[in-house]
Amino acid sequence: MTYQECYEKGVGTLVEAEVPEASLDARLLLEYVCGTNRNTLLVHNDREVTVDEQNRYEEIVRLRARRIPLQQLTGMQEFMGLRFAVNEHVLVPRQDTEILVEEVLRNLHDGMRVLDMCTGSGCIILSLLHYSNDCEGVGVDISAEALAVAAENARRLCEGATLTLTESDLFEHVEGRFDVIVSNPPYIRHEEIAGLMPEVREHEPLQALDGGEDGLFFYRKIIEESRTFLVSGGLLYFEIGFDQAAAVADLMEQSGFADIQVVKDYAGLDRVVYGTWIVRS
């Protein structure tokens, strides 16, 4: 079977399974199996694939047809120009979250101490450490399996950086104070979970998605507890759902945060809320 024929068969399987972006996923999976790139389909589409490559490709396409996320099948996702290992224990890093990282980087100075609450794959804290100098990072998650993924990514991407990964229920085992606390917490309303895409609903960790009845449970907890762990003038950053800016900003204001800002993503939707903690005597 030629490379082109293999690809077309993969597209057909994914289209029949109603997988979004079937053509793209079929190509990416073929490149993953064969160790090729997009030029192969354009220039060398008549090359013969080996029997082993064909069998492995057909199997991985069948898995994608079951709506297992592409990134879990390849084990990797690009984020902030870096390649992060992912699996079923962590959320797949999303482009929207790059807005959060970029906003933190605007105010991140050398030597700052940064806490990433609900770190998952570590994509936020590791990106911040990678693109800054001499900062100290702490990544916190309740899931030991997620922290194992973050540790793997840290070994590959931030060797030599000052990073601590802590298993903790929010701030339970956190120590010291921080210049910056950043979080992409679970924020999907409980009743909305059933309506998510199968890739998310069935294959990503529920505890990283479910934000309680109104989606604000973790914002309330983190805002309240973060005040003990921020230095005066420290910054608290959140990723939010597109319709949560007013509610999260109000929670921060009620808790004494100042200069609260809302940042939109590239689609023009509210994506980040952040504010400054001032210790008042």
At 141, which CATH number? 3.40.50.150
Q: Average pLDDT over the chain, rounded to whole?
A: 96
Q: Which amino acid is at 166?
A: T
| Angle, helices 123-130/95-106, rounded to nearest 10 degrees | 40
Count how many domains the chain has: 2
252-279 pLDDT, tens digit per residue, is 999 999 999 999 999 999 999 999 999 8
Beta bridge partners of 2: 48
Q: Is residue 90 part of a domain?
A: yes
Token readout for 39 is: 């030029």
If asked whether residues 133 and 42 sit together in one domain, one would say no
Tens-place pLDDT, residues 177-199: 999 999 999 999 999 999 999 99
- Could you tell me if 49 and 173 lie in one domain? no
Neighbouring C-beta atoms of residue 231, cutoff 10 Å:
15
Within a domain: 71: no
Phi, psi of 89 (to 5 degrees): -90, -5
Regarding whether 204 and 113 lie in a shared domain, the answer is yes
Tens digit of each residue's pLDDT (9 = 90 or more) over 98-147? 999 999 999 999 999 999 999 999 999 999 999 999 999 999 999 999 99
Whether residues 44 and 89 fall in one domain: no
pLDDT at 16: 98
Same domain, 43 and 86: no
pLDDT in tens, 228-247: 999 999 999 999 999 999 99
Which one-letter DSSP state was computed for residue 44?
-
Domain span at 98: 76-277
Q: Is the pTM of this model over 0.85?
A: yes
Give the pLDDT of residue 113.
98
Q: Are 123 and 246 in a shared domain?
A: yes
Decide which of 46, 66, 86 is a domain's last residue. 66
Question: Which residues, listed in sequence order, are joined to residue 84 by a DSSP beta bridge?
Answer: 77
Q: Is 92 left (phi over 0), alpha (psi -120 to 50) or beta?
A: beta
**Quick check: 251 pLDDT over 70?**
yes
For 94, the token pair is 């999303």
Residue 45 has pLDDT above 90, yes or no: no
Q: Which residue has the tokens 């080996």?
A: 50
- pLDDT at res. 279: 83
